[in-house]
């Protein structure tokens, strides 16, 4: 899609994608200087974690999800989450 977007005669002018994923892909392809990510949310949505009822590795799904939430909050508060994003060249959403 990037090649079509950046072609001399583009087939379209916009790509709808998650901002972080789009920016990461553009950097990996070396075209981040040729694109602009607009701060125009078309639609926002929540992300969910699902746990299989048959999981042999997770014995208590509710505790696992609580621990995941806590871990993400701790990562964000400590700045480690931002470091992980930066490691992949992703700008945190503001």
CA-to-CA distance for 10 and 16, rounded, in angstroms? 15
Give the count of beta carbons closer than 10 Å to the beta carbon of residue 36.
6
pLDDT tens for each residue of the chain, 94 residues long: 777 777 788 776 666 667 777 778 888 888 888 877 777 766 777 778 888 888 889 988 889 989 999 999 999 999 999 898 888 777 666 5
Ramachandran angles phi, psi of 13, nearest 5°: -115, -5
Global confidence as pTM: 0.52
């Amino acid at each position: 899609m990037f090649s079509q977007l950046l072609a001399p005669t583009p087939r379209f002018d916009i790509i709808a994608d998650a901002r972080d994923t789009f920016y990461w892909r553009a950097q990996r392809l070396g075209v981040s200087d040729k694109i602009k990510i607009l701060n125009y949310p078309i639609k926002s949505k929540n992300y969910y974690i699902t746990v299989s009822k048959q999981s042999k590795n997770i014995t208590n799904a509710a505790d696992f999800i609580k621990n995941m939430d806590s871990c993400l909050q701790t990562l964000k508060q400590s700045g480690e989450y931002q470091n992980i994003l930066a490691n992949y060249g992703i700008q945190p959403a503001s």
